[in-house]
Homo-oligomer: A and B are copies of this chain.
Amino acid sequence: MPKETFFNLPQEKRTAIRQEAIAEFAAHPFNQASINRIVARSGIAKGSFYQYFADKKDLFLYLMQLAGEKKLEYMAPVMQQTDQHDFFSLLRELYVAGIRFARKHPEFAEISKRFMESKGTPLYEEVIANNMPTAYEFFETLLQQAIDRGDVRADIDVRMFAYLIASLNTLVLEYYSERVAQDYDEKMLTTVDKFIDFLRNGIGAPQAAMPPSQDRESFTAA
């Protein structure tokens, strides 16, 4: 957490520092991000920086917290509607919220993404340990509920699919922003819908579909 001096700063200066820090960590992974650049760009002295933050990690954790808070603003409303959706449409709303967040706050999304890729580093472990239950765990309970309600096949490996669904979340986001990108709302929804339809039904042709457990004559494609 930043020191008190940081919060005593005139708002203008504070947000300037914050903006430059966000930009720096969005553009470079933790070890590559440069305090020198941040202070130069935000027009403060190096010494001042260390009056606001204990060290580089302190700043980074602060930004991670900000990112988390912002993301929660997008996810929380969806979480509260769990009863009004079946599993797949809830997932759809979660994915859509994730994309909305990434579109409105690309720097935060980038920082989070970089962070996720740092799995295995001490920094990662520290943040995860101190902060949050992972998305995996969240999806695991969600998935179990879905099975109990009959929304999802009962013969699946819950742990594995929790992992897969969490990963698919970032995957749809990457695909959307890499390949579809610009015209926001319209295509976004169809992209997400395709993913969700896939989750639900797979891509096997009707005649090729084999019953995994008991018969499930599945959908009849057009």
Contacts and interface: CB of A to CB of B under 8 A. Distances in A.
A208 interface: yes
B218 A81 contact: no
Contacts of A135: none
Given A152-B205, A207-B150, A160 B212 contact: no
Nearest to A211: B219
A203 B161 contact: yes
A163 interface: yes
Interface in A181-209: 191, 194-195, 197-209
- Highest count of chain B CB atoms <10 Å: which of A200, A204, A209, A211: A204
Contacts of A76: none
Interface string A13-43: 0000000000000000101100000000000
A154 interface: yes
B222 A84 contact: yes
A44 interface: no
Copies assembled: 2
Contacts of A62: none
Contact of A164 (B84, B171, B221): B171
B210 A219 contact: yes
A124 to B, nearest CB: 13
A157 interface: yes
Contacts of A117: 117
Interface stretch (A45-53, A67-75, A87-95, A125-133): A87-95
A160 B178 CA distance: 11
A222 to B, nearest CB: 5
Given A32-B31, A171-B164, A199-B203, A155 B222 contact: yes
20 contacts: A86-B208, A151-B204, A151-B208, A152-B204, A152-B205, A152-B208, A153-B204, A154-B221, A157-B194, A159-B179, A161-B198, A161-B203, A163-B175, A163-B179, A201-B210, A202-B202, A209-B216, A209-B218, A211-B219, A211-B222
Contacts of A56: none
A207 B215 CA distance: 12
B208 A219 contact: no
